[in-house]
Amino acid sequence: MATFAYEAMNSEGKIVKGSLEADNIDRARDSVKAQGLTVVSVGSQSALGKDLKFDLSPKPSVRDLSVFCRQFVSMIRAGVTILDSLQMLGESTENKKLRDAIFDVRTSTETGMSLSGAMSEFSPQVFPSLLISMVTAGEASGSLDIAFDRMARQFERSSRTQALIKKAMVYPIIVVIVAIAVVIVMLEVVIPTYTSMFATMDVELPKITKMVIAMSDGLKHYWFIITPMVGAVVFGIITFKNTIQGKHFFGKLAIKLPLTKEITVKSASALMSRTLSTLIGAGLPLVEAVDITSGVMSNIYFQEALEHAKEEITIGQPLSRPLEEAGIFPPMVHYMIKIGEETGNIEDMLNKNAEYYEEEVEMAVQSFMAMLEPLIIIVLAAIVGVLIGAVMAPMLAMYQGLDNL
């Protein structure tokens, strides 16, 4: 396929520009018209134009995908064709990356490509592999609406869990930012006003006061060195976090720290159970379902546990055994799966697991917030208290010296 650049007029009379791939210029024109645009010009896009094309729009959120799937289900069940459904969804979607992908998927589908095949060209940047697998299974079984309905529920529950966890992190992040701002203001503004006064006092300054004054002088005179050093440290941590060693380090930290262990383990258990249940319910083989599920796990230890489980299932072992041997899932997870394997109803057991741990995540987040709020206040009070104590200590020492005269 060649890449064509186009100019077109939308329904509001505004000129829009873009590019698309097509077999020839006639198909390129048809694709532009399929987006509800009036063609002004279509031509081959130069290599230079491709290199200078940057897409800074954000990836679709889980919420965006849940809305896409839910609306698609409603349209299909109302008797709207797939092409018309994609056209309407593309026009109503706010996320630019998702909107462009939907229009391109419509174009590819119109030329005879399967829906899953067209969507896979935008995986995983726009459409996650889990959604592609579900659409593939839905096409094979003739139940595309059921596949999208399952994914809508999957995304809605994932969105709710993610929102709970993000909500739990907003407060501590804000307090940390405020604490840093308070420390900088104290060191940059408050402490220097007392430094000259301390210099005239005939009193031996306490060690804590000397340390705070040294920090204030260092920040005031060497900020141009400290700032890039802090930036380099942050960049180094982010880079390290994306390496295999970093993923293992932070992954172990998340499941070992008392503050994060409960939320990490329970949210991973809920995500694994819900995803496996969705895939198995769509008719995917267990080995393939476990393989896909391992790819959606954010913590590398849970991902590796499922990858090992896939290998064990391939040689005939039940799923519950490698999950138990992994030692990172709560006992209820592999007990319920074992019951499902024995009764032949593993999908129902996974659903019960998911519902239980989704509720547990909500309660764990609430407990986390209740414990974290006073802890942060204590830490912030201690930081401010040290700075105030560093200012007051020499003044108290001077007053005591005057009393002794």
Residues 139 and 121 in one domain: yes
Query: Is 162 within a domain?
Result: no
Nearby residues of 335 by Cβ (< 8 Å), 6 or more positions away: 320
Neighbours of 405 (CB within 10 A): 4
| Digit-coded pLDDT (tens) for 13-46 | 667 777 777 767 777 777 777 777 777 777 765 5
Tokens of 387: 């700075």
The reply to whether 79 and 11 lie within a common domain is no
Specify the higher pLDDT residue, 19 or 221.
Answer: 221
Q: C-alpha dihedral over 391, 392, 394, 398, to 10 degrees?
A: 140
279 lies in the same domain as 215? yes
172 and 139 assigned to the same domain: no
Residues 248 and 144 in one domain: no
Are 253 and 401 contained in the same domain?
yes
- Could you tell me what percent of the chain has a pLDDT over 90? 18
Distance CA 191, CA 48 (A): 56
Chain center to CA of 101? 20
Question: Angle CA(196)–CA(199)–CA(200) in degrees, nearest 5?
Answer: 95
**pLDDT score, position 222:** 84
**Same domain (yes/no): 121, 234:** no
Two tokens, residue 5: 């650049």
Containing structural domain, residue 116: 62-157
Residues 6+ apart with CB under 8 A from 143: none
pLDDT for 50 equals 47
* pTM score: 0.69
Under the banding of pLDDT at 50, 70 and 90, the label for residue 53 is very low
pLDDT score of 336: 92
211/337 Cα distance (integer angstroms): 58
Question: pLDDT over 70 for what percent of the chain?
Answer: 90
C-beta of residue 195 within 8 angstroms of C-beta of residue 390: no
Domain boundary among 120, 137, 157: 157
Residue 351 lies in a domain: yes
Quick check: 47 pLDDT over 60? no
What is the rounded average pLDDT for all residues in the chain?
82
**CATH code, domain with 31:** 3.10.20
CATH number at residue 93: 1.20.81.30
Instruction: Give the three-class secondary structure for 139.
Output: helix
Q: How many domains does the chain have?
A: 3
Mean pLDDT lowest among 42-56, 98-112, 148-162: 42-56
Q: What is the pLDDT of residues 134-146, one digit of tens each?
A: 888 888 878 888 8
For 362-382, give one letter per residue: b (16+ CB within 10 A) or e.
eebbeebbeebeeebeeebee
| Residues 283 and 387 reside in one and the same domain | yes
Which of the given ranges, 138-142, 223-227, 324-328, has the highest pLDDT on average? 324-328
Q: pLDDT tens digits for 275-310?
A: 888 888 878 889 988 988 888 888 999 999 999 999
Query: What are the Cα distances from residue 14, in Å, to 7, 8, 38, 107, 362?
Result: 10, 8, 10, 22, 47
34 in the same domain as 85: no
3-state helix, strand, coil in the chain (%, to 5): 75, 5, 20
Alpha-carbon separation of residue 160 from 56, 156, 165 (angstroms): 26, 6, 9
Residues 189 and 325 in one domain: yes
Which of 98, 122, 157 represents a domain boundary (last residue)? 157
Q: Same domain, yes or no, for 356 and 217? A: yes
Model confidence band, residue 201 (pLDDT cutoffs 50, 70, 90): low
| 381-384 LR contacts (CB < 8 Å, sep 24+) | 383/179, 383/182, 383/183, 384/182, 384/186
Are residues 153 and 279 both part of a single domain?
A: no
Does residue 57 lie in a domain region?
no
Angle between helical axes of 258-281 and 286-296 (0-180°, round to 10): 140
